[in-house]
Amino acid sequence: MNIMVTGSGGQLGSELRAAAARYPRWNFRFFSHAELDVTDAHDVRQAMRQCSCDVLVNCAAFTSVDRAEADPGLPFRVNRDGAGVLAGSARELDALLVHFSTYYVFDGMSPKPFREQDEPRPLGVYGLSKRQGEELIGKIGPSHMIIRTGWLYSPFGQNFVKTMHRLGRERDVVDVVSDRVGSPTCAEDLAEAVLCILGKADLQRSYAETYHYVNEGACSWYDLAAAVMSLAGLPCRVRPIESSGFSVSGPRPWYSVLNNNAVKREWELVISHWQASLGRTLERMTVP
């Protein structure tokens, strides 16, 4: 199986690269943003042909929620148009497209975990651009799996866990919002799940699936920050605050727990509790 990964410099791409070593029978080709622009249809098609691509895993995305509000051009280009380009090429070359999306497609106005069939209603530019990318993939119709995830972290790139880990070493106290609830997701677990699904998938079949993948459990950002400090043994105090006292420019959903039952059942996955995976990731981060 020939697997091509776009946006390989990001968190998920980096974890897929690390996980690829455990799948020696598959051929992986990784393309960072600098190596392949997913909005360039010509380059994408050419790269896919060169790889004899069976599976295209798209980890490329514009993920800065705040910057998306200020400058909507780029998020729509990458998250919507890029998804369309990849879907078109995947369809043309009969490849399976695995695409990642986000809880930001929902409005966060639910009291219980979002299911795949719940009505999307993005609150801002980032969520809308991701939702339109999902819709475009569905419309163009290659064999595809869209995996929505939440609160992603890893030892790579920029993420909340890394920020807290740094602040925990620099400060005596940090204030973190306690009124937004969601599911932290370890990018390593998600990468492993994707490869596990690919190992079981029938590439002769045409898929049109949307799944929710998050680690098990729910917490607030404050709980996540407190867990980082306690698992990393940092003496920094974490104080819970309300969102109103913390200004952010991009609209964020209040409640973003995703129901991961469908992906677990269909692919027989066992998903770790967020805290177990967080502990593992923090250990990887501290090993020199």
Which residues form the interface with another protein (CB under 8 A)?
Answer: 108-113, 178-179, 181, 216-220, 222-223, 226, 240, 242, 254-255, 257, 259, 261, 273
Q: Which residues 6+ apart lie within 8 Å of 233 measured at CB?
A: none
Cβ of residue 126: shortest distance to another protein, in angstroms? 19
Q: Name the residue nearer to another protein (CB basis): 22 or 112.
A: 112
Give yes or no for a contact between 274 and 219, defined as CB atoms under 8 angstroms apart.
Answer: yes
Least distance to another protein, CB of residue 78, Å: 29
**Cβ proximity to another protein, 32 vs 272, nearer residue:** 272
Query: Has 211 been annotated as catalytic?
Result: no
Which pairing describes strands 185-186 and 237-241: parallel, antiparallel, or unpaired? unpaired
Q: Which residues make beta-bridge pairs with 148?
A: 101, 212
Q: Which is nearer to another protein, 129 or 178 (CB)?
A: 178
- Please give the structure tokens belonging to residue 235: 């003496």
Pairing of strands 219-220, 181-182: antiparallel
Closest approach of another protein to the CB of residue 230, in Å: 8
Least separation in angstroms between residue 218's CB and another protein is 5
Q: What is the DSSP string of 226-273?
A: HHHHHHHT---EEEEE-GGGS--SS---SEE-B--HHHHHHHT----B
- Which of 126, 153, 213, 255 is the catalytic position? 126
With respect to another protein, which residue has the nearer C-beta, 26 or 254? 254
The Cα 215–Cα 257 span in angstroms is: 10
Residues marked as catalytic: 126
